[in-house]
C-alpha cells in the first residue's frame, strides 16, 4: 500500500510581483533625481572655449553660479542679486567648511566685471575653491 503526500498546488515558485514593484519604484526615483540635477544647468549660457579644459574625475560638492549675457546672477535657476549671492555663499561655506566648491558659469559675451564680482563674493565668503567654467574646444 503506497502513501500519497499532498505537495499543494504551488510547487515552490518564486513570486515576482514584489520584485517588479521595487524595480519600478527605483526607476521612478532615478528619473525624478535626474530632473532635479538638470535644474542648475537650465540657464541658457554660451560658455567660452578653452583648449586645456578637462572634465573633473570626482564630483565635489559644487555651488553653481550662472551669469547670463546681461550680467544677471542665477543660483539653482533662481535669479539673485549680488548681495544675496554673497549671503548664499557665506551660508554654503558655513554648511561645508573647507569643502565647498563654487563653479562660475558666465556667458562669453558678459562684461568681465560681473565674473570678478562673483569671484570676489567667493573670497569674502571664505571659499577658496572657486573656478570659472569654460566649454571644451571642439577639434575640426
What is d(CA 102, CA 118) in angstroms, rounded to the nearest whole number? Answer: 10
Print burial letters for 46-64: b (CB count within 10 Å at least 16), e (below 16).
eeeeeeeeeeeeeeeebbb
d(CA 27, CA 37): 16
Per-residue pLDDT of the chain (140 residues; tens, 9 = 90+): 677 776 666 556 678 889 999 999 999 998 887 776 666 666 777 877 877 666 554 444 688 999 999 999 999 889 999 999 999 999 988 888 777 889 999 998 999 999 999 999 999 998 888 888 887 765 54
Neighbours of 77 (CB within 10 A): 13
Rounded to two decimals, what is the model's pTM? 0.58
Q: Which domains does the chain have, with CATH numbers?
A: 44-136 (3.30.420.270)
Cβ–Cβ < 8 Å for 102, 70? no
Amino acid at each position: 500500500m503506497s502513501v500519497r503526500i499532498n505537495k499543494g498546488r504551488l510547487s515552490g515558485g518564486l513570486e515576482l510581483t514584489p520584485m517588479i514593484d521595487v524595480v519600478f519604484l527605483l526607476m521612478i526615483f532615478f528619473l525624478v533625481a535626474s530632473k532635479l540635477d538638470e535644474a542648475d544647468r537650465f540657464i541658457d549660457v554660451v560658455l567660452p572655449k578653452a583648449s586645456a579644459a578637462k572634465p573633473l574625475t570626482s564630483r565635489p560638492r559644487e555651488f553653481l553660479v550662472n551669469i547670463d549675457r546681461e550680467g544677471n546672477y542665477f543660483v539653482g535657476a533662481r535669479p539673485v542679486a549680488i548681495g544675496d549671492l554673497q549671503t548664499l555663499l557665506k551660508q554654503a561655506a558655513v554648511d561645508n567648511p573647507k569643502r565647498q566648491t563654487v563653479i562660475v558659469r558666465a556667458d562669453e559675451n558678459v562684461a568681465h566685471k560681473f565674473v570678478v564680482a562673483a569671484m570676489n563674493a567667493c573670497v569674502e565668503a571664505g571659499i577658496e575653491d572657486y573656478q570659472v567654467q569654460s566649454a571644451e574646444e571642439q577639434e575640426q
